[in-house]
Amino acid sequence: MEKALQAEPAAQSAAERIARSDRCVVVGRGFNYATAFETALKMKELAYLEAEPYSSADFRHGPIAMVETGFPAVLVAVGETMRDEMLELREAVRKRGANLVVLGDDETPAIRMTPGCLCQVACPNG
């Protein structure tokens, strides 16, 4: 709980920047795809934002082309499932200038070291 509260100011700032956009993507893989799908659904319901969920595999084959400077992208990389692939994708969207939000966990220290990321949240395990 303490870690979540510590991340609140950065999360609020990221939410405010994403809210200024009319669209974004939420990307996950494996069980994280379900989290990405639900996150995108909540963004649509609560913020009236055109948020599209993608599997990281599908996202790399076409939709990544829409990412440009300032485009909001939320990456869900919790657990070991496809962690390396998600970290590679993080770099790809960061290089394209995305406003990046990364959700990770205590087992993904690289998540906390993403230059230029709006918000990085390491969710505690357990």
Q: Kindly report, residue by residue over 27-64, the tens digit of the pLDDT.
A: 999 889 999 999 999 999 998 999 999 999 999 999 99
- Residue 111's pLDDT band (boundaries 50, 70, 90)? low
Count of beta carbons in the 10 Å neighbourhood of residue 3: 11
Tokens of 21: 């956009």
Q: What is the pTM of this model?
A: 0.83
Is residue 58 within 8 Å of residue 84, measured between CB atoms?
no
